Structure 1
Amino acid sequence: MLDLPLMTYVATMSVTPGPNNIMLAASGVNFGFRRTLPHMLGISVGHGVQVVLVGGTVAWAMNWIEALRLPLVLLGCSYLLWLAWRQAQAGRPGNAGQARPLGFVGAALFQWVNPKAWMMVLNVAILFLPQGAGWAAVALLGLSCAVINLPCIALWAGIGDRMRSLLERPAALRTFNLTMAALLGATAVWILVDELPAGVLA
């Protein structure tokens, strides 16, 4: 199942900027690589489970995906905006003791409202699952995607971790967190505008 086209597609989609990677870079800066590990593992395992569940029911899912698309986008963008607000609070005076990295379960569940994850999972299921594939093939595909995804997203947490020494001053860390919050917020707004039916914003 680990053929070159699948590896290339999943690696490219996993390593390019998106909500997961922005949050991982920010977590790496604020909490370090080791404390970000549950977040990373949650993303990869959540992604693998999502591939299995969606891939295993792709025919049914394709019938419903258009009806579910806008509600999922609204839910996902709302959550991204909440995460952006939370990120903006990180690094504020008096907040150091309250801050915690996103955990395994939270990161895994986030994949279900992450528009980029949905696009990736549906494409993987459609492009790489042979017609009539059984659950064993679907499970292998999910495992393959999780294995490819983990080192790609770990790169972002590692970059964040390496930046910690550059952001030791509270003002620098605050600026970084506000920048990451702005990127998350802009991502949510961009996705929302892109997904709204034509004429809504006219």
Structure 2
Amino acid sequence: MSLLSSALSMSAFALAASISPGPVNLVCLSSGTRYPLARGLVFVTGATLGFIALFLAIGFGLGALLAERPELERWLTVAGVLFLLYLCVQLARDDGRLDTCDAQRAPGFVSGALMQWLNPKAWLASAAGIGAFAGSDTAYIALFAALYLPICWLSLSAWVLAGASLRSVVNQPRVLRAINRVLAVLLASSCLLLLL
């Protein structure tokens, strides 16, 4: 496979994995509805860089360690699911009032980066992408990460922008409460799928 066709394949994979619904995407959507756009983009930047760090760690050896020690992978899945269930509870308990939103409580850079390390979708996307397109070739892993970076950032930003565009629709507490509860159920459902 030529370098160009590999890069195109990697980019298509990165887009599909980044734009498809997942825990981080749902937090981006919720953040867009509740907080100023700039706060959402801070979270997006942290989540993107956290994902790239995870991707490179898996590509440069962490994936091999997990293959040797499957109990570590199970532990990471359980920790990730517990964290996601915590987020579900927070979403479900939200009162839906935008006027009480404190921008200082918005998910930030560090929470975005850490969330990726606890996000089972991020682990699966990294391992699957590296296995399919890069293997142990360090140059291909670096190329894949360089392509993933802007694609991931733009994809997550699209979710924040979608949330911001919904802000005028969800300005009634009962509407936002209903949306938050639907998002909580979707997130909890994704947790169940990860445990199967």
Seen in structure 2, the aligned counterparts of structure 1 residues 32 and 176 have a Cα distance that, compared at 3 Å, is: farther
Distance 1:49 1:168 in 2: 36
1 CA distance for matches of 2:26 and 2:63? 32
- Among 7, 22, 39, the alignment partner of 1:3 is 7
Alignment of 1:66-145 (within 5 A): 66-92=70-96, 96-97=100-101, 100-129=105-134, 131=136, 133-134=137-138, 137-145=140-148
Work out whether residues 98 and 173 of structure 2, in 8 Å CA contact, stay in contact via their aligned partners in 1: no
Asked if the contact 1:10–1:148 (Cα under 8 Å) also holds between the matched residues in 2, the reply is yes
**Rounded Cα–Cα distance in structure 2 between residues aligned with 1:113 and 1:150:** 18
**Letter in structure 1 aligned against 2:59:** G
Q: Where does 1:141-180 land on structure 2 (aligned, <5 Å)?
A: 141-180=144-183
**Partner of 2:106: helix, strand, or coil?**
coil
Gaps of 5+ in 2: none
Shift of 1:183: 1.5
Partner Cα distance (2:179, 2:135) in 1? 44
In structure 2, relative to structure 1, the CA distance for the partners of 1:62 and 1:74 (3 Å cut) is: closer
Cα distance, 1:128 vs. partner?
A: 2.1
Kindly indicate whether the alpha-carbon contact (under 8 Å) linking 1:50 and 1:142 is maintained by their aligned counterparts in 2.
Answer: no
SS in 1 for 2:107: coil
The two structures have a TM-score, normalised by structure 1, of 0.84
Identical-residue share of aligned pairs (%) = 27
Per-residue deviation at 1:71? 1.0
**Helix, strand or coil: the match of 1:166?**
coil
Displacement of 1:174: 1.5
With over 3 angstroms needed to count, the CA separation of the structure-2 counterparts of 1:170 and 1:91, relative to structure 1, is same
Point out where structure 1 has 5 or more consecutive residues left out of the alignment. Answer: 195-202
In structure 2, what residue type is equivalent to 1:150? W
- Does the C-alpha gap of structure 1 residues 59 and 38 become closer, same or farther in structure 2, counting only changes over 3 Å? closer
Give the 3 Å change call, closer, same or farther, for CA 93–161 of structure 1 in structure 2: closer
Distance 2:182 2:153 in 1: 25
Q: TM-score, length-normalised on structure 2? A: 0.87
Q: CA deviation at 1:172?
A: 1.2
Q: Give the superposed CA RMSD.
A: 2.3
| One-letter amino acid matched to 1:37 | L
Task: State the distance in 2 between where 1:59 and 1:188 align.
Answer: 22
Tell me by how many angstroms 1:42 deviates. Answer: 1.1
